[in-house]
Structure 1
């Protein structure tokens, strides 16, 4: 379902009237001494037909952090997450979930480029069992915690869990990325989902993930745009739909989106379905400010404004206090070498980590030992709750990349009735995970 075009363009306060440019770095991210290596790499990926994530990337194109850290931005604005629980009904609740979702995008896909002016670079591919742990403090809502674990290496899949116990809201999810070149743009399809629950309502929210375009790679000034469509569906029959508008060659603006929130009693999604009751339309720029319009009254209000309030400060333990499987300790030597511009050392340290992982895989194969995640369990949709199964069936008809199952945090509150025994893998609580970060690697 698309937004009402009249209401979308009717206001002078809309961000659609403001100019926008991509967060393109001021100069090429490729060192002058490495320009030959960059062109060789670029020619190689243009002719590569598989998933680009399997290619070895030159060290000067690495951004110095693990892909697991990207997931932590789901909690950049803990008060926005917590305030979802204040909604009085399903329609308002969906609007607040949509607001929170938009708040996650800037940090996940733009903040590091906008603040550092270093361009969009490639993160480290997490090793199997790698974990990233973080928290945020909010004066009103207290602590929000985040746990992420690499639950698969081939294909690469990262599972996430976040919670604010004081507000009574939490969620599990997973994401995986497949990339290929089309023209001179890298197309990244994000597979996975996020499921959000609250203690004060039985309503559950199921989210798909946006696809990405990495542009201007040939010029050495890469930046990111979101593309295609993303959906949120609630178990009470409400849907939010976001259309990410990619700027054309000759006109338009970067980073814009439109969207709508509607009630839909159908079991499968149909674009502009006749039974859909339009409640709100959305518009704006996901890197700046966005707005929501009440379709009954015509009233417009701010959905989310990136600059209105800075994100909360992320809290991460010092590297020396982290476990051997936590991201910043795993990649510490590589990151330090990249920061000092010593790309040869960075490549050697990165190769050493990867070779160690290959050796561990061979050892497990020879011993016929199956590796299992420490913190998460896979649940097929067929084995999940009926309401959740129906919710994702609705979304699957619109976006197959949502998949057919979920990685769920083992000690998520909705699973406490079947809490695993201490002998089982994944018996840690969120606090345990923060204090030990142990895995069965």
Structure 2
């Protein structure tokens, strides 16, 4: 039946901070030439594309839900900045002030009978601060096939109009890149090295966990799922959802507009949703991913 025992906001964050090696990201600012940095960013972008669990949906994040995690000296803060439509924002910075990530993420599912295609609106920015370079990329579409054989894959273009390289391979295996000028081919991504041996986040400071943290919001539901107590899990899930509906009614009755705590949120028809962090840096988190 039931849900994957974690929030979609957590899964969104995991695509950025759960890597087996930090080299994939470090290569982006350590590479010496603009072209080598470009290919490193492509490799890193592919590494954020992860397998999705089939047949088990994560929790829909509640409005204002947060997820604060550190991996080494890189710190991530996510917030559910809109509920209808669902929009998630991510901000990450490191202690050495070499890199910054700002992502805005709005999944839009479309049903086609035998399949479901989820187009992810919003931009992903990777900023190499010391080099004053910003790379802007989109996210491929998630395709869920229902018939004849169930399966999940990523589809759609994710590149600019100027062709410098041709890319071949599979996001869950290896990817090679071919220079269109000289024909040279190089492997830039190996999924086994990046997404195998992943380590789960660990709570280092329980007192530092905010009430809005995903793990806190859904703790009772998750515990019931892990015990396979499906009736209890359903009850706890409904309790979370009913609390959110009550808060929404309270805001409507008082004429209060909900405002994100960590991001400025804006929208226009041309660019869609834009999430701008309110603070320049992200602080170390009470939840850590072992390096």
1:409 is matched with which residue: 267, 273, 277?
277
Deviation at 1:93, TM superposition (A): 1.9
Q: How far, CA to CA, are the matches of 1:318 and 1:355 in structure 2?
A: 31
Deviation at 1:345, TM superposition (A): 1.1
Match of 2:119 in 1: 189
SS in 1 for 2:139: coil
Contact 2:27–2:37 (CA under 8 A) maintained in structure 1: no
Deviations 1:293-327 (A, max 9, x none): 22233222211101135466353426954221100
| TM-score, structure 1 normalization | 0.59
Contact 1:82–1:164 (CA under 8 A) maintained in structure 2: no
SS in 1 for 2:122: strand
Bigger radius of gyration among the two: 1
Deviation at 1:282, TM superposition (A): 0.9
Q: How far, CA to CA, are the matches of 2:152 and 2:282 in structure 1?
A: 33
Match of 2:282 in 1: 430
Matches within 5 A, 1:251-270: 269=161
Q: How far, CA to CA, are the matches of 1:377 and 1:90 in structure 2?
A: 31
Matches within 5 A, 1:262-411: 269=161, 276=162, 278-309=163-194, 310=196, 313-317=199-203, 320-321=206-207, 322-379=209-266, 403-411=271-279
1:79 is matched with which residue: 8, 13, 23?
23
Structure with the larger helix share:
1
Aligned length: 282
Deviation at 1:408, TM superposition (A): 1.5
Q: How far, CA to CA, are the matches of 2:283 and 2:81 in structure 1?
A: 20
Q: How far, CA to CA, are the matches of 2:204 and 2:230 in structure 1?
A: 24
Contact 2:65–2:80 (CA under 8 A) maintained in structure 1: yes
Contact 1:120–1:223 (CA under 8 A) maintained in structure 2: no
Deviations 1:175-202 (A, max 9, x none): 1112132122112121111111112222
Deviation at 1:144, TM superposition (A): 1.5
Structure 1: tracts of 5 or more residues without a match? 1-59, 114-118, 138-142, 232-238, 240-268, 270-275, 382-395, 413-428, 437-441
Contact 2:221–2:234 (CA under 8 A) maintained in structure 1: yes
The change in CA–CA distance for 1:311 and 1:407 in structure 2 (over 3 A counts) is farther
Q: How far, CA to CA, are the matches of 1:357 and 1:85 in structure 2?
A: 42
Pair 1:224-2:224 in alignment: no
Higher relative contact order (CA 8 A, sep 6+): 2
Deviation at 1:223, TM superposition (A): 3.1
Pair 1:162-2:80 in alignment: no
Contact 1:75–1:81 (CA under 8 A) maintained in structure 2: no
The change in CA–CA distance for 1:319 and 1:183 in structure 2 (over 3 A counts) is farther
Contact 1:170–1:197 (CA under 8 A) maintained in structure 2: yes
Q: How far, CA to CA, are the matches of 1:202 and 1:362 in structure 2?
A: 45
Cα-Cα RMSD: 2.5
Q: How far, CA to CA, are the matches of 2:205 and 2:83 in structure 1?
A: 23
The change in CA–CA distance for 1:192 and 1:283 in structure 2 (over 3 A counts) is same
The change in CA–CA distance for 1:161 and 1:314 in structure 2 (over 3 A counts) is farther
Deviation at 1:151, TM superposition (A): 0.4
2:61 is matched with which residue: 79, 103, 126?
126
SS in 1 for 2:276: strand
Structure 2: tracts of 5 or more residues without a match? none
| TM-score, structure 2 normalization | 0.88
